[in-house]
A and B are shown apart, each in its own frame.
Chain A
Amino acid sequence: MTDQAMNQTRGAAALTDEAAARRVRRRHAANRRMQIYGLSAIGLAVLLLGVLLGSLLLTGTQAFVQTHIRFDVTIDADKVKADDLFDANWRGIAQDNFVRLFPEVTNRRDQRELVKMISNGAPYMLRDIVAADPSLIGRTFEVSFPAADPIDQFNKGVITRDVPEDQRIVTNKTVAWFDKLVAEDRISTPFNWSLFFSADSRFPELAGLSGAIVGSFYALLVCFLISFPVGIAAAVYLEEFAPKNRMTDLIEININNLAAVPSVVFGLLGLAVFLQFFGLPRSAPLVGGMVLALMTLPTIIIATRSALKAVPPSIRQAAFGIGASHHQVVMHHVIPLALPGAMTGTIIGLAQALGETAPLLLIGMNAFITSDPGGLMEPATALPTQIFIWADSPERGFVARTSAAILVLIGFLIIMNLLAVVVRQRLERKW
């Protein structure tokens, strides 16, 4: 309403009695209330988004660094044979060398508690270091190994000193040892590369995402290889060639309905058809990719069709006019012009597929796998299912890991969506 109109209503109200003026004021107040309700609804939604992202960032950033403990290791030549590294008692070697930092701890029980401060993966890391450089046998060198999860949590302040001893996992004794290590400058918190470059593990301080990232990559690759050509072909046929009859109507209704089928139902389809009927292996990225492809198809078809619709008829008429066949018009002129739109739709569809969890759970892509999948038929996890597994794990350290994994997943989604925006802005033509 313009100001002038408002003034007029106010003026008219002033001419009549007090009650009418009150009524007008009430009505305007109601209007303002409506605006406030709307604004607060938007504010609430944005606030919730902020809380969601904020809480993930708050817990997730911790997992991007990892507490390490530095100490000297002496490899006795009589304990380790260069030709049979697997035979040596690496656990014992790592623990003995670590205990040497605390000569005052002589009690066996205390020593057992003491060695729990370093990660369970330390013996294997030590073995790998020696395997990479056998000349280290018989020498003393400095290593920096991840601390066990409770120490890591304590160092990051998730577990605090003010909590009574019987309620926290880190005992007062361990705290004293930790303080000694800090005083000797043996504690460091470098960037946690293993989050990206190691596979899953039972121990939070060793668990990484590389297996899940590779699995997701394979699944998305299969999804793309199936859904992109099939989606484009279907869209081109329905938009450019299909006669208007009951069959094509049926296909159209079908595609629209498929887009609204709950994702878990696609999981049931994959389980019953791909695993049960065709006997494909469980947990394989191939099956995951095929299920995701069926889910992504409607998105790609709908996006490609609207891109095809946007190509102006004059292009088609010009091509027909110089004697091109219907197929030549479509293949040489219409599809190249519609391709950026189709690619945008495909990237967005793939981004949705990357975040999809439920169908992958049903076909078993939530297995516990401690190495990167070697191929399409090997058991694997995917990023969202890895998040699900970690979210279910009881160890404290996995809370931060889960948030960090979510941040990585959201990072990939942002990259894909930005790519879609770039493709749209750079390549798409407006007519």
Chain B
Amino acid sequence: MVTYAFLIIVAASVLGYLIGNSRAVGIRSGGSTMLHSLPSYHGAYVALWVGLPTFLLVLFWVALQGPVIDGLIMASLPDDKTAGLEQGALDLILSEIKSVAAGRVFGQPDAATLSAAGMYSDWHDIANVAMIVVVLAICVGALGLTRARIAAQFRARHSVERILNVIMITCSVLAILTTLGIVLSLLFESFRFFSHVPFYEFLFGLSWEPQIAMRADQVAGQGAFGAVPVFLGTILISFIAMMVAGPVGLLAAIYLAEYSSPRFRATVKPILEILAGIPTVVYGFFAVLTVAPALRDFGAMLGVDMAPNSALVAGAVMGIMIIPFVSSLSDDALAAVPQSLREGSYGLGATQAETIVAVLIPAALPGIVGGFLLAVSRAIGETMIVVMAAGLIATMSVNPFEAVTTVTVQIVTLLIGDTEFDNPKTLAAFALGLVLFLVTLALNVVALRIVRKYREKYD
């Protein structure tokens, strides 16, 4: 039905354009007066007024039809069926009604469910037909109204440009809406979480066991939501990643910026960038398939007992992923150091290495530090590598050979397969998400500030 609605809208808009255009042409050829705007603007004016309102209407209709009908159906159920039930049980009734309405009947649904299912499909049919009718009515109405406005003196171009401005501003504001959506949804669900679990317990508690019982008859832990072990694991893995990516990326950047020939640079740089373009799920599989067994054999050779999903594996593979990030940002920072500083240092008799260590790195330090902070923020937010290669159980440990878990791993494991948002287990994921969002945001802001401050020094 939605497809038909969109087809009607497109057809009506094209028709509107043709009608507006031909009417304007008619005015121009018929009278002696000049048109204010080109005929195509008159056509566009009609088309926009026909197409835009109906397009928005269909979007709203589609977004609201489901929830509204769900609410009406639930309200229409007899009181004795819904009285005293929790949200989860109500949702179950609703999904049973929906599956009966879709023709998937399991067992013997009771009479109330059957009649509700009948109503459900009836109402959906009515709503779909109503949508088409309303869209058609608005199309015809808008076509008539706007066509009547077309006249020699009508400033169609100004109107069209104003509408385009509004469209473009709306699109730009979408970026703000996205941020708002992120912040609000995280805050809202986090507040609900903090009504179950005290704020200080989440931030400072030392035990994380979120697998609580979903039903009364399940055997599970009591649940503990102290996120310190999770934070510690995140910091440990990010630290290991930076221990790999930091030196390798920085040294690679130094070589590429200061020593290499242009040809070498032109070949090697894209190869390094490939590392950044490989999807993270591929790194995760690489960690499990190749790196974990290799490191475990190596550890066994040295007599170190290593967990199969140790922090070292996840951190090292994440480090590989971040190398091009560190190297390209450090490369930019080194390239931004004015040539005069290099020449001054050479002039004093310093070797290239001495110039790099004593002049270039101090001069480029803010840029390098900024790049490192951005890389850290990338490491903290990285999900798939740790989901596949790190542990699930939170341990208070900084031993790289043990399995630790991270914020992103917990978010994913808490939310996979769960749709109910009424227990602390799933809500905890949003609290973790809020922490993750705030920390990465802070790191990015600080990094950008450092980089910007530095740039002002030499420009």
Contact A254 B255 (CB under 8 A): no
Interface residues on B, range: 35 or more
Q: Is residue B127 contacting chain A, with contact meaning CB distance below 8 A?
A: no
Q: Please choose the segment from B26-34, B179-187, B202-210 that sits at the chain A interface, where 4 or more of its residues have CB less than 8 A away.
A: B179-187
Q: 1/0 contact trace for B383-395 toward A, CB 8 Å? A: 1100110000000
Q: Please choose the segment from B50-58, B132-140, B212-220, B352-360 that sits at the chain A interface, where 4 or more of its residues have CB less than 8 A away.
A: B352-360
Interface size on A, residues (CB 8 A): 93
Residues of A with C-beta under 8 A to B182 = 261, 265-266, 268-269
Tell me the bound Cα distance from A56 to B437 in angstroms: 33
Given the interface pairs A282-B419, A387-B281, A409-B279, the reply to whether A233 lies near B252 with Cβ below 8 Å is no
Contact A264 B275 (CB under 8 A): no
Contact A42 B436 (CB under 8 A): no
Q: Is residue A30 contacting chain B, with contact meaning CB distance below 8 A?
A: yes
Given the interface pairs A241-B168, A242-B172, A388-B281, the reply to whether A358 lies near B387 with Cβ below 8 Å is yes
CB distance from B399 to the nearest CB of A (A): 24
Residues of B with C-beta under 8 A to A264 = 381, 383, 408, 411-412, 433, 436
Chain A's closest residue to B68 (CB) is: A279
Contact B255 A41 (CB under 8 A): yes
Residues of B with C-beta under 8 A to A326 = 161
Q: Is residue A1 contacting chain B, with contact meaning CB distance below 8 A?
A: yes
Tell me the bound Cα distance from A356 to B288 in angstroms: 19
Q: Is residue A362 contacting chain B, with contact meaning CB distance below 8 A?
A: yes
CB distance from A200 to the nearest CB of B (A): 16
Tell me the bound Cα distance from A403 to B356 in angstroms: 42
Chain A's closest residue to B289 (CB) is: A55
Contact B252 A41 (CB under 8 A): yes
Residues of A with C-beta under 8 A to B349 = 9
Contact B255 A42 (CB under 8 A): yes
Chain A CB count within 10 A is highest, among B247, B383, B387, B408, for B383
Q: Which residues, 208 to 257 on A, are CB-close (under 8 Å) to B?
A: 229-231, 233-234, 236-238, 241-242, 248, 250-251, 254-257
Chain A's closest residue to B268 (CB) is: A42
Contact A279 B290 (CB under 8 A): no
Chain B CB count within 10 A is highest, among A28, A234, A242, for A234
Q: Is residue A306 contacting chain B, with contact meaning CB distance below 8 A?
A: no
Contact A234 B171 (CB under 8 A): yes
CB distance from B342 to the nearest CB of A (A): 11
Contact A268 B176 (CB under 8 A): no
Q: Which residues, 28 to 79 on B, are CB-close (under 8 Å) to A?
A: 63, 66-67, 70
Tell me the bound Cα distance from A238 to B356 in angstroms: 40
Q: 1/0 contact trace for B423-459 toward A, CB 8 Å? A: 0000001100100110011001100100000000000
Given the interface pairs A38-B259, A265-B381, the reply to whether A409 lies near B282 with Cβ below 8 Å is yes
Chain B's closest residue to A238 (CB) is: B172
Q: Please choose the segment from A90-98, A178-186, A294-302, A422-430 that sits at the chain B interface, where 4 or more of its residues have CB less than 8 A away.
A: A294-302
Residues of A with C-beta under 8 A to B167 = 233
Q: Is residue A260 contacting chain B, with contact meaning CB distance below 8 A?
A: yes
Q: Please choose the segment from A44-52, A128-136, A157-165 that sits at the chain B interface, where 4 or more of its residues have CB less than 8 A away.
A: A44-52
Q: Which residues, 153 to 185 on B, are CB-close (under 8 Å) to A?
A: 157, 160-161, 164-165, 167-169, 171-176, 178-179, 181-182, 185
Residues of B with C-beta under 8 A to A35 = 255, 259, 353
- In the complex, which of the residues B250, B259, B281, B421 contacts A355, with contact meaning CB atoms closer than 8 Å? B281
- A interface, by DSSP: helix, strand, loop or mixed? helix
Residues of A with C-beta under 8 A to B185 = 268-269, 272-273, 277
Contact A301 B70 (CB under 8 A): no
Q: Is residue B256 contacting chain A, with contact meaning CB distance below 8 A?
A: yes
Q: Is residue B7 contacting chain A, with contact meaning CB distance below 8 A?
A: no
Tell me the bound Cα distance from A399 to B289 in angstroms: 8
Contact A357 B383 (CB under 8 A): yes
Residues of B with C-beta under 8 A to A59 = 289
Tell me the bound Cα distance from A40 to B268 in angstroms: 13
CB distance from A313 to the nearest CB of B (A): 21
Contact A237 B171 (CB under 8 A): yes
Contact A31 B282 (CB under 8 A): no
Q: Is residue A193 contacting chain B, with contact meaning CB distance below 8 A?
A: no
Contact A55 B286 (CB under 8 A): yes
Q: Is residue B364 contacting chain A, with contact meaning CB distance below 8 A?
A: no
Tell me the bound Cα distance from A39 to B281 in angstroms: 29
Given the interface pairs A41-B251, A273-B181, the reply to whether A234 lies near B174 with Cβ below 8 Å is yes
Tell me the bound Cα distance from A34 to B63 in angstroms: 61
Residues of A with C-beta under 8 A to B66 = 278-280
* With A46-B268, A242-B172, A362-B412 already in contact, 13 other A-B pairs whose C-beta atoms are closer than 8 Å: A28-B351, A34-B357, A42-B255, A45-B252, A46-B272, A237-B172, A250-B176, A251-B172, A257-B441, A262-B436, A388-B284, A391-B284, A409-B279
20 contacts between A and B (CB under 8 A): A31-B354, A35-B259, A35-B353, A42-B251, A45-B327, A48-B275, A56-B285, A254-B175, A257-B179, A262-B383, A272-B186, A327-B161, A361-B416, A388-B388, A399-B289, A406-B285, A409-B279, A410-B278, A410-B282, A413-B279
> What are the 5 closest A-B residue pairs judged by CB atoms, nearest first?
A262-B381, A38-B255, A355-B279, A272-B185, A237-B168
Chain B residues engaging chain A, CB cutoff 8 angstroms: 63, 66-67, 70, 157, 160-161, 164-165, 167-169, 171-176, 178-179, 181-182, 185-186, 188-189, 247-252, 254-256, 259, 268, 271-272, 274-275, 277-286, 288-290, 320, 323-324, 327, 346, 349, 351-354, 356-357, 374, 377, 380-384, 387-388, 408, 411-412, 415-417, 419, 421, 429-430, 433, 436-437, 440-441, 444-445, 448
